[in-house]
Amino acid sequence: MARTRLSVIVIDENRIRASIIEEGLQAAGCERVTVLNELEGIVERVAELDPDVIVIDLENPNRDALEHLLAVPRAVRRPVAMFVDHSDAAMIEAAVDAGVSAYVVDGLKKERVKPILDLAIGRFNAFARLRQELEQTKQALQERKVIERAKGILMQRGGLSEAEAYARLRRTAMEENRRIAEIAQSVVTAAGLLPGTSP
Amino acid sequence: MSAKRHRLRLGFLPLLDAAVPIVAAARGFAEDEGLELDLVRESSWANIRDRIAIGHFEAAHMLAPMPIAASLGLTPIDAPMVVPMALGLGGNAVTVSIPVWQAMADAGAPGDGDPAKVGAALKAVIAERARRGAAALRLGVVHPFSGHRYELCYWLAACGIEPERDVALTVLPPPLMADALAAGRIDGYCVGEPWNTVAAAEGAGRIVTTKAAIWRSSPEKVLGMRADWAAENRDTVARLLAVLHRASLWCEAPENRGELAALLSEPAYLNLPAARLLLGLNGAVMPAAADAVPDFLIFARKAATFPWVSHALWFFSQMVRWGQAPMSAEALRAARQTYRPDIYRAALGPLGVPLPRVSAKVEGALEREMPVASSSGRLTLGPDGFFDGLAFDPDAVEAYVAALIRR
C-alpha cells in the first residue's frame, strides 16, 4: 500500500523555526504537516495522525520521553525508528550538527524520506544563521549608540566638532589596536566616573 | 610533558553525580595531565548517546545501562561502547506527590525510607485506587535504559506491585520531574539528586525512599565512550581516568563539600542555589530522619569508580527481566565486555590506587563494611545488600532472572 503523501509531525518549542520548517515542507509538496510545540498529549496525536516521519529539535529535553513513547507498541500503530538508516552516518551527523533529529517509520523507502530530512536540516541551519545575523545586527546597533554617546562626550568636554571627535576615536583605536566601539565604551565609562558629565 | 594539550569534549546532564567530571575540568586536574576537558551540558540522554556515537563527544557522563544497550545493538546508531570507569555509587531517590504521600502515610508508611514498609503502604494505596476505579499511578523515570527504571521496578516488584500492570511508567528529563509532579502530570518518580530535594523544598513532593536503601552501594552513572575510540586512544583514556580518579577523591573529601556545592551551583553546571545541592551531597534527603542516609552518594570510597563486571551483568539481568534484551550467551558476553576493568587497572594501578583482586563479585553478599583483597590492602567494600535480602551471583544470571520473574 504505497502512500502518495507523507505525514510529518514537527515537534519544536521554537514556534518561529517550526513554522519555517512547516512552510518548507509544504512548499516541497508535503501537505500533511503538523506542528506540535510541546509533548503534552503526543501519544494521542501520533496515534491519530499516524505520521511517517517525526522531526524534533535537539534542544528539546523531551527527546527521551518521545523515544520511550515511540517504543511502546500500543502508542503507535507502526514501529518507528530513528533516522532513515542505521548506517547513514553522514546524514545523522549533518542532522545533529544542525540541531535536529528525526524518527522514521520502519520500512519507509529511503528516497522518500531523504528530501524531508534534507529540508529539515537545511531549514535548521538557515534558522541558526538567521539568529546569528540578528545577534550581529543587534550588536552593531548597540555599538553605534555607544559611539554616538562617546562622540557627544568628546564634543561637549573637548570642544571638538563631530568629525574631529570621530577622527580621534578612530585614531586611538588604531594606535591601541582595538575596535572603535571598545574605545567609545571606555570614553563613556570614564565620563560616567567623572563629575559634571551625563554620558 | 610539553606536548600539546589533548582536548576532549565530554557531555553531561545537570545532576549531582556529574560532579567528578565537572571538578576534573573546573579545578585544573585535567591540565595537570595535559588534557583539556570541554564540558558540554546536554538536554537529553538521547543527545549524549547520539553525540558519542557520531564523535561529537569523546566521552560522557552516562546512565550505566546506556553503553550496555549500545553494545547490545539496542540503540539507533550502531556504535558499541565501553565503560572504563564508574562515576560513583547511589545518588537517586523516589519522590511522590503530597496527596499520594498522605495516602501512603495513612496506610502506615514510615518516614525513614524503609523500602519494605514504604512499599507495603504504596501497595495498599494502589490496591485501594484500583478498588474505586481510579487511574493507575503514573511514575516517572529518566530513561528506558536507566538504573532508575530498574531500581524502581525492582523495589515495586519485590513489594508485590507489578510495574507493568499496577502503575504506568513514563519517561521525563530530570530537571522537569519536579514541575511535572507539581502540575499533577505524574504522581511520583525516581530521579538523581538534586531533583528530589528540589521537589520537596518546593512543597510539590515527598521523598519516600532512596536508591541506597533499595540497594546499598549500587551503581549509577559511568564514564561511557565508543569502543573503537577507546582502543585507538589508550594513552589519552589512561590520562582521563587518572584525572577523574583525582577528582573523585576531591569530591569525596568532606572538607571540600561546601566548595563542591558552590561549583556545581554555577550557571554552566546545575544552576541552582548551593544550599539546595548540599542536601543531596550530605545525604540529608529523608525528611523524617535525623541522620543522613548512609552511603547515599559515594564518589570515591568503597571502590566507587571501579567498573565491576557484576554491575554490568546486573543491569543486563534487568534488561532481560523487563523484556528489553534477549537472554543469550552472545548478549551476555556483549554486556560483560562493555565494562572494562582491565583499562581501569592499567591506568590507575601504576598510580598506586588500591585495586580489588577480582573484577566481579556477588552483589548483596556483604552485610557490613569489610576489607577485601586488593593490590594495596587498603580497600574496604560494603555493605552492599538489596533490601529484600536477595543476592545476585554474576555467574548465574539466567537463574537470577528466572527467580525474579517467578516470585
Amino acid at A75: A
In terms of DSSP bridges, do strands B137-141 and B188-192 run parallel, antiparallel, or are they unpaired?
A: parallel
Question: Using the beta-carbon criterion (under 8 Å), do B76 and A83 form an inter-chain contact?
Answer: yes
Question: Using the beta-carbon criterion (under 8 Å), do A96 and B51 form an inter-chain contact?
Answer: yes
Q: Cell 516541497 sits at which residue?
A: A28
Average pLDDT in the B224-252 region?
97
Q: Which three cell numbers stand for residue A107?
A: 520500512
Q: Does residue B60 surpass a pLDDT of 70?
A: yes
CA diameter of chain B: 72
Q: Judge whether B152 and B163 are in contact, CB under 8 Å.
A: yes
Q: With a cut of 0.85, is the ipTM above it?
A: yes
Question: Using the beta-carbon criterion (under 8 Å), do A61 and B175 form an inter-chain contact?
Answer: yes
Peptide bond into B383 cis (omega under 30): yes
Over residues A151-197, the pLDDT tens digits come to: 999 999 888 999 999 999 999 999 999 999 999 999 999 988 887 65
Is the pTM value of this prediction over 0.90? no
Together in a domain, B351 and B228: yes
Asked, for residue B190, whether it belongs to a domain, the answer is yes
Domain limit, last residue, from B175, B196, B214:
B214
Question: Using the beta-carbon criterion (under 8 Å), do A93 and B54 form an inter-chain contact?
Answer: yes
Domain limit, last residue, from B214, B239, B261:
B214
Distance from CA of A14 to the nearest CA of B (A): 15
Work out the pLDDT band at A75, boundaries 50, 70, 90: low
* Range with lowest mean pLDDT among A146-155, B72-81, B189-198, B339-348: B72-81
Q: Which residues of B touch A56 (CB under 8 A)?
A: none
Provide the β-strand partners of residue A9: A34, A54
Task: Give residue B173's domain range.
Answer: 92-214
Asked, for residue B368, whether it belongs to a domain, the answer is no
Q: Which residues of A touch B15 (CB under 8 A)?
A: none
Domain limit, last residue, from B321, B338, B356:
B356
Domain ranges of chain A: 7-132, 136-193
Topology annotation, domain A136-193: Arc Repressor Mutant, subunit A (1.10.10)
Together in a domain, B102 and B84: no
Together in a domain, B280 and B188: no
Together in a domain, B76 and B109: no
Q: Judge whether B301 and B307 are in contact, CB under 8 Å.
A: no
CATH number, domain containing residue B196: 3.40.190.10
In chain A, whose CA is at the least distance from the CA of B142? A64
H/E stretch holding B394: none
Whether B322 contacts chain A with CB within 8 A: no
Asked, for residue B392, whether it belongs to a domain, the answer is no
H-only helix segments in A57-109:
63-71, 89-98
Work out the pLDDT band at A7, boundaries 50, 70, 90: confident
- In words, the CATH class of domain A7-132 is alpha beta
CA distances from B214 to B93, B172, B290, B385 (A): 9, 22, 19, 8
Residue B136 burial class via C-beta count within 10 angstroms: exposed 0-12, middle 13-18, buried 19 and up = middle
CA angle, B331 then B322 then B95, to 5°: 125
CA distance A119 to A101: 12
Together in a domain, B333 and B239: yes
Interface with chain A: mutation pick from B13, B44, B57, highest number of A CBs within 10 Å:
B44
Question: Looking at beta carbons, which pairs linking B55-59 to residues 24 or more positions away fall under 8 Å?
Answer: B55/B226, B55/B229, B56/A96, B56/B9, B56/B11, B57/B9, B57/B10, B57/B11, B58/B8, B58/B9, B58/B10, B58/B225, B58/B229, B58/B233, B58/B236, B59/B8, B59/B10, B59/B223, B59/B224, B59/B225, B59/B240
Domain count, chain B: 2
Radius of gyration of chain A (CA): 26
